[in-house]
Amino acid sequence: MKKFLLLLICSFHLIAADATIEIVKRMEKQPTIGLLDGTGAEIDSGLKRRFFQMIVGDLKVSTHFDVIDRYYKDDSFSALSAFVPDRPELVVRYKLEPSSKDGIIARVKLINTISGEVKLEKSYKISHKDRYPFLSHRIVVEINDTLGFPSIQWMERFVIFSKYTTPKESEIVISDYTLSFQQTIIKGGLNIFPKWANRSQDSFYYSDYNGRFPAIYHVDLSSGKRTKILESEGMAMVSDVNNDGQKLLITMAPDDQPDVYMYTLYDKHLERITSYKGIDVSAGFVDDDRRIVFVSDRLGYPNIFTKTIGESGVTQMVYHGRNNNSVSAFNQYMVYSSREKSSEFGSGTFNLYLISTQTDFIRQLTATGKNLFPRFAPDGESILYIKEYKAQSALGIIRLGANKSFHFPLKTGHIQSIDW
């Protein structure tokens, strides 16, 4: 039972970043933008529909546009007269064409309808049509960059997650942020807590609970090679990787008591960072790897603390809530998951809160369901998290600057943990 509770706490995981407490956009007016599809009959109608819906969705999630989601077909791929009654300021005219084998080429123009100026003209290519979400993400990121809006490059990043399929069975899956593209990488047995090994996302760590002891493995995606890093009684999981990919923060429980360790890859040195007769889990690097933020039950319930590596003292960071079980840090900001009183939000509700280490201000980010495992985008402008509501599991995206959130449900299985 004790080990189960440890896994449960760690499943309400952490690590990430934010931008500002008062980051509501000050954009006077968002430009209206519409889509004009010049794709011919050589592309399957189902793929046409899915691509249109994906690019509309990406534009909306960017929060930088007022998107016209009405479908317009442009057989000539030249005229803009089709936009009646809508009169968008910007038009994305695109045409999908088959490429070699199973690939697709997208020919794209971004037109300012007021001046007639072509702001962007470019062709994009993917080798397999089932990767069409990434084709859409790339196009929208470049449209956004061309117009000078704040970066949304996080859209192109892979999400890696573990999902439960049956009791004691889970898979490691790589997807785009909408879950529209999914590729299973690890299957068979209990495989949990995936964590990208570097920013280039060409390898990852995960915890294998199928042997005598839990073990941490490293997987190289290009070669498929799987290497055991270490194993430990009780539990073993990578909770964070530093910026150069050489230092790992690991939660282990060799004596049935979980603590935070730091593992250095180049010399295979394992250093114990916390030593507490209770639960210390799910640590993340802060302040240029000099300190960690982690979850501990030192107050008799899970809460958020920080600690300087090599020093004995710890500092309590959160004074709100009685069950704060996951955290993510970005510069001086932290986002954490906190269980609410049942009388306020219903039984079993976990909400996300944003705090600054320099003020006492607390900003509530969610209001319903279980909102767990917050992860910040590299630029701190967005948060990825697990959303559980009415027995459904989904990935959630919070766009902090616009005060908007979006949910992408998982059709089969149940999400256990995530990273991006």
Angle, vertex CA 86, rays to CA 408 and CA 118, nearest 5? 85
Claim to verify: residue 198 and residue 266 sit in the same structural domain: yes
Tokens of 52: 């249109």
State the Cα–Cα distance between residues 301 and 317, nearest whole angstrom.
14
Secondary structure of residue 58 in the 3-state scheme: helix
> What's the pLDDT at 26?
45
pLDDT at 321 over 90: no
| Strand intervals (E) in 99-155 | 104-112, 118-126
User: What letter would DSSP give residue 184?
Assistant: E
Claim to verify: residue 170 and residue 137 sit in the same structural domain: no
Confidence class of residue 19 from pLDDT cuts 50, 70 and 90? very low
β 66-67/32-37 pair status: parallel
Which range is least confidently modeled, 39-53, 151-165, 331-345, 375-389?
A: 331-345
Of 146, 165, 195, which marks where a domain is finished? 146
- Of residues 24 and 45, more confidence is placed in 45
Claim to verify: residue 186 and residue 234 sit in the same structural domain: yes
Claim to verify: residue 124 and residue 168 sit in the same structural domain: no
Claim to verify: residue 89 and residue 198 sit in the same structural domain: no
List, for residues 208-267, the tens digit of each pLDDT value. Answer: 999 999 999 999 999 999 999 999 988 999 999 998 999 999 999 988 889 999 999 999
Identity at 407, one-letter amino acid code: H
Average pLDDT over all residues of the chain: 89
State the Cα–Cα distance between residues 272 and 251, nearest whole angstrom.
10
List, for residues 344-399, the tens digit of each pLDDT value. Answer: 555 578 999 998 877 778 899 998 889 999 999 888 899 999 999 878 899 999 99
> What's the pLDDT at 343?
45
Claim to verify: residue 392 and residue 255 sit in the same structural domain: yes
Number of domains in the chain: 2
| % of the chain beyond a pLDDT of 70 | 90
pLDDT at 16 over 50: no
Claim to verify: residue 260 and residue 386 sit in the same structural domain: yes
Confidence class of residue 75 from pLDDT cuts 50, 70 and 90? low
Claim to verify: residue 250 and residue 339 sit in the same structural domain: yes
Claim to verify: residue 177 and residue 131 sit in the same structural domain: no
Claim to verify: residue 11 and residue 81 sit in the same structural domain: no
Q: For residue 176, what are the CA distances in angstroms to 18, 236, 275, 381?
A: 21, 27, 38, 18
Confidence class of residue 69 from pLDDT cuts 50, 70 and 90? very high
Q: What is the mean pLDDT of residues 114-139?
A: 96
> What's the pLDDT at 347?
58
Of 122, 146, 170, which marks where a domain is finished? 146
Expressed in angstroms, the distance from the first to the final Cα of the chain is 31
Q: What is the mean pLDDT of residues 156-162?
A: 97
Claim to verify: residue 250 and residue 391 sit in the same structural domain: yes
87 contact partners, CB below 8 Å, separation of at least 6: 32, 113
State the Cα–Cα distance between residues 221 and 107, nearest whole angstrom.
30
Of 102, 118, 146, which marks where a domain is finished? 146
pTM score of the predicted model = 0.89
List, for residues 349-358, the tens digit of each pLDDT value. Answer: 899 999 887 7
List, for residues 163-206, the tens digit of each pLDDT value. Answer: 999 988 999 999 999 999 999 999 999 999 999 999 999 999 99
CATH number of the domain within which 339 lies: 2.120.10.30
Tokens of 149: 């809006």
Q: Quickly count: other Cβ atoms within 10 Å of residue 415's Cβ.
A: 24
State the Cα–Cα distance between residues 17 and 331, nearest whole angstrom.
7
Question: What is the residue range of 259's domain?
Answer: 2-23+154-419
Answer whether 95's CB lies under 8 Å from 78's CB. Answer: no
280 contact partners, CB below 8 Å, separation of at least 6: 251, 258, 259, 260, 274, 294, 295, 296
Q: What is the number of residues in the chain?
A: 420
Confidence class of residue 12 from pLDDT cuts 50, 70 and 90? very low
State the Cα–Cα distance between residues 32 and 67, nearest whole angstrom.
6
pLDDT at 120 over 60: yes
CATH number of the domain within which 139 lies: 3.40.50.10070
Claim to verify: residue 91 and residue 176 sit in the same structural domain: no
pLDDT at 342 over 80: no
What is the DSSP track for 320-380? S-S-EEEEEEETTEEEEEEEPPHHHH-TT-EEEEEEETTS--EEE---SSEEEEEEE-TTS
Which among 247, 249, 251 is positioned nearest to 276, based on CA atoms?
Answer: 251
Secondary structure of residue 242 in the 3-state scheme: coil
